[in-house]
Amino acid sequence: MAKILIADDSEHGRASLRALLLLRDGWAICGEAVNGRQAVLMAADLKPDAVILDFSMPMLDGLQAAKEILNVTPHVPIILFTFHKTHQLDVEAERIGVRRTVSKNDPLKTLLTAIEESLNGDRPPIGPLAIPADKSLISPGPPANEIVGPLAVPPVQPLEPLVASPDKSVDTSANASVVDPAPARAPKSKS
C-alpha cells in the first residue's frame, strides 16, 4: 500500500485530493498537513511514499517545504500541485528536487499519472522542455528585476513625500516642509 501525504491549506483542496486518491487501489492517505511546516514534520514522522504539496501555503510555501522534506527524507517523490505553474516555477522546483509540478487547472488524470510515475520511480521532465544534462547549456536567465510571472518581485519605486500645506492642499515638491495641520492643544489639567 503506497502512503501519500497531502499538504494544502485549503480544506476543500485536501478533501478533493483525498476523495480522488482514495479511489485508487493500493493508495492510502497517511496524513494531511494544513501548512508547509506541518508537512515537513509529518513527512519526517510518517515516512510517506509520496508527498503532494500545494505551492501557496502559510508557514512555508511548497518549494520551501519540499526543500526541507528532502533534507529529512531524501528519496521521497514530491509533487507540487498548484494554480501558479510556470516554466520558471518548474525549473526552480526541479533544482530543489521536486519530482513533478502539476497545475490544478490540468485534467485530474495529469495528477494521477504524475503520482503513479513518481511512485514507480519514473522522473520525466517537469517543464515543457527537458533540461539538458549539460547544465552549461542553460543560460542564467534575466536579472531578478526583469523576471515576469508569479515569482517576480515588482521593482521598488521611490515615493515623493506628501506634505500638507496650510491651505490643506498637498505639496509634493522636494523642498516642501512638514506641517502639522492639527492645532496645538493645551494639556488637560488635573482637578
Every domain of the chain and the residues it spans:
2-129
What are the backbone dihedrals phi and psi of residue 123, each rounded to the nearest 5 degrees, phi first?
-135, 75
Q: Are 147 and 141 in contact (CB under 8 A)?
A: yes
How many C-beta atoms surround the C-beta of residue 124 within 10 A?
A: 11
pLDDT band at 123 (very low <50, low <70, confident <90, very high): low
Bridging pattern class, strands 78-82 and 100-103: parallel
pLDDT band at 147 (very low <50, low <70, confident <90, very high): very low
Instruction: Taking each helix axis as running N to C, give the angle between helix 62-72 and helix 36-46, from 0 to 180 degrees, rounded to the nearest 10.
Output: 20
* Amino acid letter, residue 169: S
The reported pLDDT for the residue numbered 84 is 82
CA 39 → CA 13, 95, 101, 138, 167, distances in Å? 15, 20, 17, 32, 57
Write the class of the CATH domain 2-129.
alpha beta
The reported pLDDT for the residue numbered 43 is 96
Classify the C-alpha dihedral 32-113-72-104 as positive or negative: negative
pTM as predicted: 0.63
Residue-wise pLDDT tens digits, 60-81: 889 999 999 999 998 999 999 9
pLDDT band at 12 (very low <50, low <70, confident <90, very high): very high
pLDDT band at 116 (very low <50, low <70, confident <90, very high): very high
State the chain's mean pLDDT as an integer. Answer: 75
Task: Give long-range contacts, CB 8 A cutoff, 24+ apart: 108-113.
Answer: 108/20, 111/20, 111/52, 111/79, 111/81, 112/20, 112/24
Is 156's pLDDT higher than 50? no
